[in-house]
Chains A and B, each alone.
Chain A
Amino acid sequence: MAASPLDGPPPAAPDYASAVEAWRVWRVGLRDGAVVLLSLFADAAWEPGRPLDAGCATRRRSRLLPWRVPPNDHPAPELDCSCGIYGVATQEAAREYLDAVRYAPRGRRVLGRVGLWGDMVESEQGWRARHAYPIEILVPLPTIAETSLRRRAQLEEIAFGLEAYAVPVDVVPYASVRPATGA
């Protein structure tokens, strides 16, 4: 007798029907002559017009064979792993990464809102997600007193290149997104 399509457990209903909006910071780089967003810590390029898909690149040492460090083979993100595409809940939290150089390669950075979806891990101050795409990109522009005209022209060029993502790209005064100090 053929199995009925009604057999088995019903598919779980999604928790949300629209992408979760979060904040994050990207590095900016060049790929094939085009300006692209790069993840801050991972070596991942965000291609215009395509969602970024997460995989788990974390490796764990085997308990039985401790000299072996095989890669994880689970789909990202998992609750007890650190994999996935990160976003924080507030702009203030993301701004901390605009100037932070700890653990991350140097280079021009931009701030923005990101849409996260798919399987996700909800955390105290943000999320890790399976899929992501930018919603809005803010390019911080220092004042003339803080930088050269040539550097400002480069930033304008970066902003123009980022329009390939087909999302709003705004050049904003650096002071408006600079992490608050002493407050």
Chain B
Amino acid sequence: MEIGRPLRKIVVEPVRDPVPRRPEREREPAPPAGPPAREPVHR
């Protein structure tokens, strides 16, 4: 894209996250956290 002659370097640090969070209901379910823990075996 044509943006013309560069003028200066700037630093932009947004206070708020520029990436919007998806609504809770639209989020994909979290994957299972691993194999189910085994029950302790008592001998």
Q: Which residues of A contact B (CB under 8 A)?
A: 12, 14-20, 24-25, 40-41, 49-51, 79-80, 86-88, 93-94, 97, 115-129, 131, 133, 135, 165-167
B9 touches A79 (CB 8 A): yes
Q: Are A126 and B3 neighbours in the complex by a CB distance under 8 Å?
A: yes
Contact between A79 and B6, CB atoms less than 8 A apart: yes
CB of B14 within 8 A of CB of A19, answer: yes
Known interface pairs A119-B11, A121-B7; 6 further A-B residue pairs with C-beta atoms within 8 A, sorted by A's residue number: A79-B6, A86-B3, A97-B1, A119-B9, A124-B3, A165-B20
- Interface residues, chain B, CB within 8 Å of chain A? 1-16, 18-23, 26
Docked-complex contact A120 and B11, CB < 8 angstroms:
yes
The main secondary structure of chain B at its interface with chain A is loop
- A122's contact among B8, B14, B19, B23, by CB below 8 Å, is which? B8
A131 to B11 Cα, complex, angstroms: 11
Contact between A126 and B11, CB atoms less than 8 A apart: no
Instruction: Determine the distance from Cα of A115 to Cα of B12 in the docked complex, in whole angstroms.
Output: 11
Chain A residues with Cβ below 8 Å from B21 are 166
Q: How far is the CB of A27 from chain B (nearest CB, A)?
A: 13
CB neighbours (8 Å) of B6 from chain A are 79-80, 121-123, 128
In contact, B9 and A51 (Cβ under 8 angstroms): no
Q: Which residues of B contact A15 (CB under 8 A)?
A: 10-12
